[in-house]
Amino acid sequence: MDHAPVVTAPGLKVLAHFVPGAKVIDFLAPHTHWLDIRYCAEDDEETFYRELPQVDVLWHVLRPLTGDDLAKAPALRLVHKMGAGVNTIDVAAATARGVPVANMPGANAASVAEGTLLLMLAALRRLPELDRATRAGAGWPSDPTLGETVRDIGGCTVGLVGYGNVAKQVERILLALGADVRHTSTRDDGSPQWRALPDLLAESDIVSLHLPLTDATHGLLGREAFARMKSDAVLVNTSRGPIVDEAALVEALRSGSLAAAGLDVFATEPVPADNPLLTLPNVVLTPHVTWYTADTMRRYLEFAVDNCERLRDGRDLANVVNQVAR
């Protein structure tokens, strides 16, 4: 007598809060016999709330995850941040519900470091302005102010505010280019390159932010900080938008007390159409994507699958940022 084959249902239901490409699908294909992965675009609230009550694991990107959201996920056993910063997750609410929150420290460091260099160069060398001029046929003869304003990174002092995985990758790149690199962090680490923040701001031709968003770092760079910086300095932010007082930044860029900025992150995301930063010619903008490369996505998926395997097998989870009862 023939028997129908036994089909085993996947052991874990995962809601991936992003739209997958072919490389993501291919990477995860060998795991779909035990992972039931559903995908949801970050702005697709209907799908998000339809899937949320059933999922064991949420692969979280940037769309804020609130306590109300967590209350709608009674089966949730893990929130896994696809990245390092967990400021977009209500970690306290997750802890209260006994849900571990894990992150992926260092997984996007190489990509964000390269994106930081991209913004540094684009702002320092006035790339948006030159691109517009060339497209308009107005690039010749060359603007004589280029020889007065554009700098080589190798001739600059670069100040790194924060000194974690990304900042250290940026430092290695900058040193290879000949830059003089300083850094600041929560305390003097004994390095001759360490500076207190006020001194770092005053000495640097480029200031690059690499901090988590906390109560202590919210609004860290405002009018007082910009007043300490050189008038021909460049600010680069690839960390979190609210670390910078945007109104003060706009004022500094408009008045000429700051030369330029390269920004991947903003106080409000998506950026509102009336944000004055969008109108300034001395600002280079990208939409919080310096981390978003095929290489980083592969590293993220490796971390995410590993923690799902740990959850499935009853082993300790990696990189958990909160303490929950077991």
**Per-residue pLDDT at 68:** 97
Task: Return the closest-CA partner of residue 276 out of 244, 254, 259.
Answer: 254
Query: What are the distances in angstroms from CA 70 to CA 56, 97, 316, 320?
Result: 12, 8, 22, 17
Question: Quick check: 59 and 80 in contact, CB under 8 A?
Answer: yes
**Per-residue pLDDT at 3:** 45
Write out the chain's pLDDT in tens, 326 residues. 444 443 344 589 999 999 999 999 999 999 999 999 999 999 999 999 999 999 999 999 999 999 999 999 999 999 999 999 899 999 999 999 999 999 999 999 999 999 999 999 999 999 999 999 999 999 999 999 999 999 999 999 999 999 999 999 999 999 999 999 999 998 999 999 999 999 999 999 999 999 999 999 999 999 999 999 999 999 999 999 999 999 999 999 999 999 999 999 999 999 999 999 999 999 999 999 999 999 999 999 999 999 999 999 999 999 999 999 76
**Per-residue pLDDT at 5:** 41
Write phi, then psi, for 279 (nearest 5 degrees). -100, -5
Q: For residue 278, how many other CB atoms are within 10 A of its CB? A: 12
**Per-residue pLDDT at 11:** 83
Query: What are the distances in angstroms from CA 268 to CA 81, 125, 156, 166, 211?
Result: 20, 27, 31, 23, 17
Question: Domains (ranges, CATH) in the chain?
Answer: 12-103+293-313 (3.40.50.720), 108-285 (3.40.50.720)
**Type of residue found at 264:** D
Q: Give me the active site residues, please.
A: 240, 269, 288
Question: Quick check: 40 and 48 in contact, CB under 8 A?
Answer: yes
**Cα–Cα distance between 224 and 213 in angstroms, integer?**
19
**Per-residue pLDDT at 10:** 59
**Per-residue pLDDT at 325:** 76
**Cα–Cα distance between 120 and 256 in angstroms, integer?**
18
Kind of pairing between the strands at 283-285 and 206-209: unpaired
**Cα–Cα distance between 236 and 210 in angstroms, integer?**
9
Question: 41-45: long-range contacts (C-beta < 8 A, 24 or more apart)?
Answer: 42/17, 42/18
**Cα–Cα distance between 239 and 33 in angstroms, integer?**
37
